[in-house]
Amino acid sequence: MRFSIYRFDPDKDDRPYMQDYDIVPEPADRMLLDALIRIKSVDDSLSLRRSCREGVCGSDGMNINGRNGLACITPLVGLREPVELRPLPGLPVIRDLIVDMTQFFRQYHSIKPYLINNDPPPETERLQSPADRAALDGLYECILCACCSTACPSFWWNPDKFVGPAGLLQAYRFLADSRDQATAERLDNLEDPYRLFRCHSIMNCVDACPKGLNPTGAIGKIKDMMVRRTV
């Protein structure tokens, strides 16, 4: 199989370039990550992040033939050759396929991704009805791989101001949580022409999400909450 991979080594290269690799996958090599590990055994200067190799840790997000996805859950079968691999778009490249996620996580932290509840903690857990718990389905599963935010043009143009789909999905995850008490503060924090309203519902995030989540829908629900409290 032929691969064409984005290479950049800050110690040697002035600018990035594409390098071709030809490898013969072993029968056990099912996913793109298996092939990348095989390439790395030939050329150990190739750098990429990976850990769990089963789509849970969210480290190996990359741009695969023009689409963002996780290498570990992208089957080799069906990939158009040469398989073009590039780092996630719009984030500064540290080396090869490794990007600097600082901006992404800064936006994630800005929405206070934790439960805010000022009641004294009970003896056991803070309980939820099954219906309240079900409201969090499709929200809590996010693995923060950044595939969605780096597929979003609004995040490309304003990564410092727009929270981005990943951050906004998590914002709604806490807005939708029956145990959270900071609804008003959270909505205040998001009521901003840049932070929330750069989303123009083009749904690239939904298209990219390797976990099949729907950030655009969650953003729409945040807007619903704002409309309900204002109108």
Partner 1 sequence: MKRIVTGAHYGLRDWLAQRVTAVIMTIFVLCLAGTLLVSPLPDYPAWKSLLGNQWMRIAFFLFLIGLFWHAWIGIRNILMDYVHATGIRLALQIGVIVSLLFYTVWSAEILWALGSA
Partner 2 sequence: MPPPRPDVRNIVPPWITVYTKPLPVPPRGVQKLQTNRPTFLNLLKIRQPLPAVVSILHRISGVLLFFPGIPLLLYGLEMTLRSPEDYARFQSLAGSLPFRLVALLLLWCFLHHLCAGTRFLALDLHLGGALPQARLTSRVVLAAGITLTLLISSWILQ
Catalog residues that contact partner 2 under the rule CB under 8 A: 6, 8, 10, 14-16, 37, 40-41, 44, 63, 65-67, 84, 86-94, 100, 151, 153, 156, 200-204, 206-207, 214, 216-217, 220-221, 223
Asked if 226 interacts with partner 1 (CB under 8 A), we say yes
Nearer to partner 1, 18 or 202 (CB): 202
Q: Which stretch binds partner 1 (CB under 8 A): 64-72, 167-175, 187-195, 208-216?
A: 187-195
Cα 195 from chain centroid (whole Å): 17
For strand 17-22 and strand 2-7, is the pairing parallel, antiparallel, or unpaired? antiparallel
Site for partner 1 (CB under 8 A): how many residues? 23
Q: Is 231 in the site for partner 1 (CB under 8 A)?
A: yes
| Rounded Cα–Cα distance for residues 140 and 124 (Å) | 22
Query: Coil, strand or helix: which one is 132?
Result: helix
DSSP 183: H
Report the distance separating Cα 82 and Cα 76, nearest Å.
12
Residue list 3-32, contact with partner 1 (CB under 8 A): none
- β-strands 2-7, 83-86: how paired? parallel
Residue 40 vs 179, nearer CB to partner 2: 40
Maximum pairwise Cα distance, the chain:
62
Contact 172, 218 (CB under 8 A): yes
Taking the C-alpha atoms of residue 73 and residue 70, their distance in angstroms, rounded to an integer, is 6
Contact letters for partner 1, residues 142-171 (x by CB under 8 A): -----------xx--xx-xx----------
Binding partner at 114 among partner 2, partner 1, none, C-beta below 5 to 8 Å by kind: none
Site for partner 1 in 190-219 (CB under 8 A): 191-198, 200
Least distance to partner 2, CB of residue 196, Å: 13
